[in-house]
Structure 1
Amino acid sequence: MKTSYLILAVTLFFLVGIRVSMAQTPPGIPEINEGKILMAQNFRALSSAILVLGALFGLLGGLRIYNNWQMGRRNIDMEVAGWLGACIFLSVLGIFLSALYQVPIA
């Protein structure tokens, strides 16, 4: 009789412990989900801002390369490649962020 109460008590204690441990979420998951929701809401504005920055950097790079060309510096291939790479990076960044936060591009 005493052993059956002991078995019942241990079983109930075990079941309650499992239920409590299953109800808890790992730390930081709600914050990550909140950040994901905020990113999805502001993605279009962020995407437009990145494209505007890319256009500004492209114009600035074009003006700088033109100035160097007019000053007589003929070896500007590395500078052209660097500015072009920066513009391509900013264009690809929007696609990367949409994949990272699972936001549709269109």
Structure 2
Amino acid sequence: MGAVVGLIGGIKVYNKFSSGDPDTSKTAASWFGACIFLIVAATILRSFFL
């Protein structure tokens, strides 16, 4: 599920970058932050239950 959401986010960032949208850096930063959150959350949850 996280991979699908990450792929969709990456496509959104690419579309904004290609169209020359000035808001691209904010979108890319939020997408990157969401990816980091998913990795950290999965690691923490795994450590609680293993």
**Shift, 1:72, TM fit:** 2.0
**Shift, 1:99, TM fit:** 2.0
Larger CA Rg, structure 1 vs 2: 1
Aligned residues: 50
Instruction: Give unmatched runs, 5+ long, in structure 1.
Output: 1-52
Higher RCO (C-alpha under 8 Å, 6+ residues apart): 2
Of Structure 1 and Structure 2, the greater helix share is in: 2
Q: List structure 1 segments (4+ residues) > 4 angstroms apart after TM superposition.
A: none
Instruction: Give unmatched runs, 5+ long, in structure 2.
Output: none
Identity %: 38
Matched residue, 2:22: 74
With normalisation by structure 1, the TM-score equals: 0.42
Inter-partner Cα distance in structure 1 for 2:46 and 2:3: 20
2:11 paired with 1:63? yes
With normalisation by structure 2, the TM-score equals: 0.76
What amino acid maps onto 2:13 in structure 1? I
